[in-house]
Amino acid sequence: MNPSVVRLRERFGAAIVRAEVGWGETNVVVSGSVLLDVVRYLHDDPAERYDYLSDVTAVEYRDAGLPLEVVWHLRSLPYRRFLRLKVLIEPGAPLRVASVWSVYKGADWLEREAFDMFGIVFEGHPDLRRILLWEQYKEGFPLRKDFPLRGRFSRSEQLVQALAANPEARYSMEELSIADAFEDLPVDMRGRLVRGEKTGE
């Protein structure tokens, strides 16, 4: 068992639903109401220092009576520890959990992918929108068990929807202005960037 579990139980009590070891890795199920507090503690406490969020994903089982699991993979590089946090969302409950973006900026795209594929809403995320599929995608969430293998629409309808999408609509005005700014650079600087030359530290 990862030694962090003892300190988590001391600090958060019953909000640590259970902890178990599988294949040498520690899994900790926490109450969704304290998720952000748990993550912040694991990140900030000098005895923990889980400074790397390697993944955010989810697991939905074929048995409709089992909860959907939202999963965070945390690593403490200084202490060489791995911890898998889980929040269980019961069937029929809203698919909503706290975003950990305020602690790990790397959660930005990871949470967007889980939103895109599973439909999980990460409350507090600064820009929660699809990342793999286009914004107007209407077929649902491809990694959910209720998603048909061939999709809900015919291939021709999928093609019509994809071709009708505005490719620039997926970018924020800030991203577009950064791309436009390239044209405002001096010609010699643009040439160096295109050739891949280092522009300095």
pLDDT digits (tens, 9 = 90+) for 4-52: 999 999 999 999 999 999 999 999 999 999 999 999 999 999 999 999 9
Q: Please count the other Cβ atoms lying within 10 Å of the Cβ belonging to residue 100.
A: 26
Name the nearest CA neighbour of 56 among 114, 105, 96, 103: 114
Q: What is the pLDDT of residue 110?
A: 98
Strands (E) located in the chain: 16-22, 25-30, 52-59, 68-76, 81-89, 96-98, 121-123
User: How does pLDDT run across 69-115, given as a tens digit for each residue?
Assistant: 999 999 999 999 999 999 999 999 999 999 999 999 999 999 999 99
3-state SS class at 92? coil
Residue 55, pLDDT > 70, answer: yes
Listed by start position, the domains of the chain span 4-195
Pairing between β-strand 68-76 and β-strand 81-89 as defined by DSSP bridges: antiparallel
**148 vs 145, higher pLDDT:** 145
Q: What is the mean pLDDT of residues 125-141?
A: 88
Sign of CA dihedral 102, 108, 110, 114: positive
- Assess if CATH 1.10.287.130 describes domain 4-195: no
The per-residue pLDDT for 201 is 38
The confidence score (pLDDT) of residue 85 equals 98
CA-based torsion, 150, 156, 161, 166: positive or negative: positive
Rounded mean pLDDT of the chain?
A: 88
User: Range with the lowest mean pLDDT among 37-41, 54-58, 90-94, 165-169?
Assistant: 165-169
pLDDT exceeds 60 at position 125: yes
